[in-house]
Structure formats: C-alpha cells, structure tokens
Structure 1
Amino acid sequence: MSLPPSSGRFPSLESLHCVTMSSREPDLPPSPTLLEAPPSYYSQDDTRSLTRPPSPRGTVRADFRGPAAGLSGSQPLPMPVVQCGVRYSFSQLSANSMLLLPPPGAADSRSLYHISVHMNVFKPQSFVTVVRRGALESGPYVGEFEYGPYDRINRIVVGSTAKRLGNVVAFKSRYFHANNWHWHGLKWIFDNLAIHWEPETALPSRTLQYKCVTKDSGKSILAHLATFYPANMSSARGGTIPMPSLVIEHAGAGFGDHVLLSILVLQRHDYPSPRSD
C-alpha cells in the first residue's frame, strides 16, 4: 500500500486540533472561554446569601429579587418607602417571621418590613423581635427589642442606639375589651421623639383600634401619625385567622421605624411571658 508523500515530520498538535474542530459544528464555547465560578459558601469575604426564606402559598407576592440580585450585573432595586394612607397588612411568612405588605393594588407592592422573633437561649422566657427593611431576613437592619419577665435585660435598639426598654416606653392603665385585657396606650420617648399610642373604639362595629399621635406640653394632639388595627378574631372565616393592619399617615412618613417598633412593643406587652421564680 502506497503512502502519501511525507514532509518528513509529524503534523503539530495544533494543526490536528484545528482539523478536528473544523470537521463538525462546534457545540461548546470556543476556547479559551472562561466561565465564572459560583461564589463559595465558605468564603469569609462573600456574605451574600443565595437562599431566601420560605413563603407560604398565596401570602407573599413576587417582590423578591434576592440578596444576590447584583450577580448578573444589574443594580439591585432601592428599598421600598412608606406609602402614606395605604393600609399595610401583617402577613405570616414562617413560624417565627412576618412581613408588612401593602395591598395588591399599591404603587409599590413590595414588603415594607421583615419582622422576626427568636428566643434568648440564656433566658428562655425572653424573646427578641428584629425588624429589617424589605422582604428578607438579610435586609437592612432597622432595630430590635427584647422583652421578657426580666426587666433588667429588656432593651430596645433603633439603628445603632440601644436603651433600656423601661427608659423608652411607659404603659398606661389596663382595661377590659372583647374578653381580653389591653393596655390603655403607650408613651414612647426615644431621643427627641415622643409619640403616644391611644386606643379608641371604632363605631358602629365597636372594634378596637389604636391611634399614634404627637402631643404638645398641654397634652393636645399635634399630629396623627398612624392607626393600628388589631386582628378582629370575630371575623375569622373558614379557618383563616385575620391579621392586624397598619396605616401610616403623611405626618408619620418620616417616623415609620419608630411607629412599627412601638406598636410591636405594645402588642407584645398585651401578652406578657409568665414569670418564673
């Protein structure tokens, strides 16, 4: 068998590679193409979380971009701001967390706040409530408070400022309404801000609601900041438990963090932890 004339040397590997690749349609990216590796879960320099909290069906709308929204090169959306006069609903997210959501027809349907609760493992009857902006537990920190039967460790944090809860909050006398005892309002003083939560009975339904106001030295109301509507258990239908709601007025738009934290403290105080001896 005759062989084709040889040039006296073997063809290079590069030429063989080119012939092989040119004989068929390429099905891989042309070399050299470098693919970016996903971030390591063990990197101490990358604090992005690639998971998001579970959402119960029909409760949370599609307002998640995820904490790693910038991975594709797009800029993350800015945090939602208070929409004045809109009735926000507290919506259960998991066994120990909830969201503050606007109604479906709002201009911005994203969650305004994420609220979670965890136990102080050293004081099992004391619980810490943490508030963050947006819909994620990894969202920007707003504040927190710890509440339990041990007054000496009860505390409140707003931003980077921490205080004893007893130095910020003063509760008024209790009263009986709808088969429950309630505190007759709350006074909240944090730095130069003083707000009051006062209960009133809405007519004709006679349901309880709270108004958040500011007052002058003569106890006259200066501004109406917000209204809180506790859950009306008498309206429960088909096993669905109603959730409370909150309306922040124009005068309260700049105090949303204090409005939310203070009403959460008031509601927590309505159902205190049992004292253990």
Structure 2
Amino acid sequence: MITLSGSNPFTDDHADPPSPTETIPPGYGESSAPPSLPPNYVLTVRPSVPRIYTFSSWSHDSMFLLPPRDADRTLTPVYNISVALNLNPFAPLSYVTTIRRGMDDDGEVVGEFELAVMHKRAFVTIGNHSSRMSSVLKQDSRSGRNFLWRYGDVELLWDTRTTLEDGSPICICSDARSNQLASFVPPPLDASPPLPPATLTVFPDGHELLDHILISALVVERKITLSF
C-alpha cells in the first residue's frame, strides 16, 4: 500500500477520479550522496493562474516543452527532452530519457531516467543522486493507475484513472495534502496521425516543483505505455 504523509489516498476503492480541471554503479547501487534538487534549481516566480505548457512534435530524438504564449511570446523552450537507446551488451535493452533546461542539446541536465523494455531494470538520476526507480516511484497494486513519486522531501501523487472521449488519459498530480498541482494529457496511443500535442497544465502552487512534475509525468507515462 502506498501512503502519503498525513493521508491514505488508496484506501477507498470506490473513490471517484479527480475532475479534469550517467552512469549508475553495477547492480543499480544507489549513490551515497543525499537526494538533491536539480542543478542550479531556481524557484519559478509563482504565477497567479494555471499555465498550459505544450510538448512540441517529436523530431529525430528529441522534443521541447514550450511555455504558453502569454508567458513568453517567443515560445522559447523551457526544457529539451531527448531519448537514446542503451545497447550495453551487459544490460537489457533500454531507453534513456534525458531532460535538459532550455533548448540546446548541451544544456544543463535536470534529470535522467532509464527503463528497460522487457525487464525490471530502471533507475532515475536527479542532480548528483541516482536511485532505483522502485525507490522513487510506487504503483498502487490494486488499481495500477495511481503512482506515488517520493524523492527527498518531494511527494507527488499521480492519478491516471480518468480518460477523455478520444482515449487520452488525464494524469492528475497532487501533493501530500491533496492539492492539485498539475495535469498532464498525452495523446491517445491508438489515435491516427496527426496526433494532438501533449499538454502539461501547471497550477500556481506547482511551479516551484516543475522539474519534479515534468520528470515524474514522463516516467508515469512511460510506465503506462509499457503496461499495454
């Protein structure tokens, strides 16, 4: 059972879904350094209204997270997200997703995670700390659609039970006090191209955790797609 501090989000089987509104040591040994914020982590100025960020189309091996036009008319990418195939002959086939700040491929690395395609191998790196994914992300064994991201003193609950009419999941992110911080809507897996852009809506209180919200959203989405 997964339990958030001060609450138990998975005890009510009939609860309604929320409304839409590196290198790692062999054997995945976790690094001895304590969990840290991403490098040069700067708290974003708290906006007064939710902001809808849009993921650009996938191009070659990367995509961008773009800000809303009313926040930045130039639409300068906030993050660069790239994926690479890990062909290490001593490890199962896996994909490594790297999140960098800004638009450049050589930009500052915010975080990275690796998930194997047909194996439980998985790890996540944020700042100077690497962990087994199983130590950071917990999945509700009963529904399989709720996830708890716990990293240091950051706790995020992702609820992915709600689905739009076109098949797009609505992934709702809340904090330990059940305050909604963000919602992530990826395109449906079986939709015909062109696909609608994925969006990440971040509420005012969520902006100071934007790095963790983005990384955990991408991990949760990958976990969901691997389960099909």
Please say whether Structure 1 and Structure 2 have the same fold, judged by a TM-score greater than 0.5.
yes
- Paired residue for 2:159? 198
> Which of 117, 121, 145 does residue 184 from structure 1 map onto?
145
The residue correspondences of 1:128-277 to structure 2 (distance < 5 A) are 128-148=96-116, 149-151=118-120, 153-173=121-141, 183-201=144-162, 208-216=169-177, 221=178, 223-232=179-188, 239-272=193-226
Establish whether residue 85 from structure 1 lines up as the match of residue 72 from structure 2: no
Distance 1:97 1:206 in 2: 24
Distance 1:210 1:130 in 2: 21
Q: Determine if contact 1:125/1:273 at 8 Å carries over to the other structure.
A: no
- Paired residue for 2:84? 118
Distance 2:210 2:86 in 1: 26
Q: Determine if contact 1:235/1:242 at 8 Å carries over to the other structure.
A: no
Distance 1:206 1:121 in 2: 33
- How far has the Cα of 1:198 moved from its partner? 0.8
Distance 2:214 2:161 in 1: 18
Over alpha carbons, which structure has the higher Rg? Answer: 1
- How far has the Cα of 1:201 moved from its partner? 3.0
- Paired residue for 2:72? 107
- Paired residue for 1:75? none
1:6-57: CA deviations, max 9, x gaps? Answer: xxxxxxxxxxxxxxxxxxxxxxxxxxxxxxxxxxxxxxxxxxxxxxxxxxxx
Between the two structures, name the one with larger relative contact order (CA 8 Å, sep ≥ 6): 2
Distance 2:163 2:113 in 1: 30
Distance 1:224 1:136 in 2: 31
User: What is the identity, as a one-letter code, of the residue corresponding to 1:96?
Assistant: D
Q: Determine if contact 2:146/2:161 at 8 Å carries over to the other structure.
A: no
| Local SS of the residue matching 1:143 | strand
- How far has the Cα of 1:157 moved from its partner? 0.6
User: What is the identity, as a one-letter code, of the residue corresponding to 2:77?
Assistant: S
Change in CA separation of 1:273 and 1:97 when aligned onto 2, cut-off 3 Å: farther
Change in CA separation of 1:272 and 1:125 when aligned onto 2, cut-off 3 Å: farther
Q: Determine if contact 2:145/2:161 at 8 Å carries over to the other structure.
A: no
Change in CA separation of 1:268 and 1:204 when aligned onto 2, cut-off 3 Å: closer
5+ unaligned residues in a row in structure 1: which ranges? 1-78, 176-182
Instruction: Tell me the matched-pair count.
Output: 181
Change in CA separation of 1:124 and 1:235 when aligned onto 2, cut-off 3 Å: closer
Q: Which moved more, 1:83-92 or 1:246-255?
A: 83-92
Distance 1:147 1:235 in 2: 24
Distance 2:194 2:142 in 1: 29
- How far has the Cα of 1:103 moved from its partner? 3.3
When normalised by structure 1's length, the TM-score is 0.57
| Local SS of the residue matching 2:217 | helix
Q: CA RMSD, aligned part only?
A: 3.0
Change in CA separation of 1:105 and 1:192 when aligned onto 2, cut-off 3 Å: closer
User: What is the identity, as a one-letter code, of the residue corresponding to 2:80?
Assistant: H
Change in CA separation of 1:241 and 1:190 when aligned onto 2, cut-off 3 Å: same
